[in-house]
A and B are shown apart, each in its own frame.
Chain A
């Protein structure tokens, strides 16, 4: 199994500012993912963070709004740019080591934009 440290755990931000969320895995992983989740709701995939190349974004999410870095096999960041209240949500980092392996999750970042 892998242990994922995600920070910050929560933040309250002013609209128009940006927040960078960090995700550190205790072992090398093949794939890392970023999700958004409204409390009590299902997960929505934002993007797949690819090591050494640009992230692959899902429909409705763009790089200018959610730039992602993946400099190595254990670390990734997600930036929420030019925030608005609609960006208030829980952001989750996830990692998998193989096609038929389970995913592991960070504790999540609860973001509130005021």
Chain B
């Protein structure tokens, strides 16, 4: 069965420090991986995706993520956190073998950036 794990319910980081939000996955075949952010009372916004190619993917708002096939991980990173990065972050995956369009969603990680 396909699954996504975000092992941390909450991550606390001081402003200016690097941040990492973890995501591991389990799918059959090659994965398509996505990160989304949700600000309070808003819909989800797309940050970045890995489909194929370079393992390091750069996305919106200075975020990047590294695809690690051996560790089945796709951790979200940013070199220097901003208070405005505080939000709920979701990792999602689907298998390249699947013919449907559905994404499997992680439980979400609340990121809190303290001034």
Contact = CB atoms under 8 A, between A and B. Distances in A.
Interface of A: 1, 4, 6, 30-31, 33, 40-43, 45, 48, 92, 94, 96, 99-100, 102-108, 110
Given A96-B101, A102-B34, A42 B110 contact: no
A41 B108 CA distance: 7
Complex A-B, nearest 10 residue pairs according to Cβ-Cβ distance, in ascending order: A105-B43, A31-B101, A105-B44, A102-B46, A107-B43, A42-B107, A43-B105, A100-B51, A108-B43, A42-B105
Interface residues of B, number: 26
Contacts of A42: 90, 105-108
21 contacts: A1-B46, A6-B43, A31-B101, A33-B102, A40-B88, A40-B108, A42-B90, A42-B106, A42-B107, A43-B105, A99-B99, A99-B101, A100-B51, A100-B96, A103-B92, A103-B103, A106-B43, A107-B42, A108-B41, A108-B43, A110-B41
B108 A103 contact: no
B100 to A, nearest CB: 8
